[in-house]
Chains A and B, each alone.
Chain A
Amino acid sequence: MDFLMNAMQSLPASMQLSGPLAWTITALVAAGVTMGVVSLVALLAVYAERKVSADMQARVGPMHVGWHGILQTTADAIKLMLKEDLVPAMADKWLFITAPLLVFGGAFIGWAVLPLCKGWAPVDLNIGVVYLLATSSLVALGIIMAGWGSHNKWSLYGAMRTAAQFLSYEIPTALHLLPAILLAGSLNLTALANSQAGGMGNMANWAIWNPFCFLSFFCYFISGLAETNRVPFDLPESESELVAGFHVEYSGMRFAFFFLAEYAELFLVSAIASLVFLGGWNGPFGLESSFLYLAKVLVMMFVAIWLRWTLPRFRIDQLMGLCWKFLIPLGLINILGVGFWIYYFRT
């Protein structure tokens, strides 16, 4: 929001606003812009998901709406908005209605601290990483609310799996971000990316080249996929056993909110990974560009889509085993290791 405030300072004096009104207007503009970006990202990501999956299965995917089906997701979005608004008769009406808003709201408010390019974070929060970990818990609660409110046994199973999965994977997500944070000495996302500048080819200082952070990067990405319920960890909505899990009763606009939230979260996880581990906007040959940062995020998202159409789903006990017996111990070891690293190589 600071850059909006600064932009307003450059207006002619007669047009300048101050006080709470100016503050409210800049906040609303920042939120509106972020909302637009989230929707655009989700539209393009859904299209990419369909095209990539089609290619992997030797199909062509959507081809008819627009050039190579580029407008297909837009058409789908319009269709979802025009659909009848259904609430099942036995559902808990208030929980059923609030749940999609909570899920999308949780994914959306995380974007508040995310720099969209260098120096353009809506709110450049000093403890951005903690904020992101905090907001992700809203999504899990929204999913539980949806599962309970639908009054459907498959939804309920999906919700219970979400609760277990989220409680478990919250821990390795935080643990595996810590080594890079310890190296950078900051919890601010912009500062984290900036601390990785310089070195050979503007790449040598990336956190990922540290042996402990190298492991943590992959573990963080795995935990992130699990927290966003992506395949191979999409047990809460596994279609072969639970039909569609927690959102089986949802249709139309409410379903669209779940869909939007999934891609908003996927982008968030990819963006955090590229900011914290891959140097953000710092790139090879001394380049420093926001396009580079976006490219990294898109590559990470592509990897997530790639994994979805390559790997089969985990079993629930394998999922829990992976978290508690592998990711968490490794996270603790990595934190200890990076502590020794800083002690012996930095001081």
Chain B
Amino acid sequence: MADPILQVTDLSGGYDPVQIFRDINLSVGAGESIGIFGPNGHGKTTLLKTLSGLIDPWSGDIRFDGQQMNRSGARGSRRWQNFNYDAITRRRMDPKTVARAGLIHVQQGNLLFPELTVDETLSISTRAASGRQGWSRADVLGLFPRLSERLVHKIRFLSGGERQMVSVAAGLLSAPRMLILDEPTLGLSPKVRSELCDAIVTVRETGLPIILIDQDVAFLERIIDRLYLFDHGRISRVMERDEIPGHEGLMAMLFGEVT
């Protein structure tokens, strides 16, 4: 495999003092997509927030596109936090830097900017993609035709599905090299859900790597090359797409055989 675009090594983290996940190793090659599957409340979202820099990692390394995302020397400098001195110390990871490097995190149930219109949101998300294959405004409106009719509406008046579409659209406009999608289809009606899933498959077909968290195994299988099983803050198993044993099988792996 060529150099991976995202390489996560021995990553641990959480909300001080509670450790949420430990010893996470992930590797995503260029053009590859992965899925993370696991029960709710086991730390998947916290892991993603750490990858995108919203939370500082406790230890380990995150390399994206050949660039170290967390400041080096991370292991020792947690001591600073115990002095409660983090007000003055600089953070070890900056979400802006991560986003500008092209690792774009589309959050779960993203509220975005409730008082901004769809049009305004898309306009501030648009970033010039130097040397990257970028999505234009016309492209994302083609991908989500629904949004064309909603341009002048404020985001707080949109339905959950439309909001999710705006989130993905804004992510695509920010010159992504990789998208992180955290349960994008959660709580959507079947029709909107299948629309969104199809759109994400279309995005995947452009070769953009995706990290997808979802509870729907059939949807995961349409997107990913590899699945990481996430259990109690650790990766308990890695399997290629054709090894995925279906929803029941995964549940059995997580919780043991149900009799």
Q: Do A and B bind each other?
A: no
Seen from chain A, the residues whose Cβ lies within 8 Å of a Cβ on chain B are: none
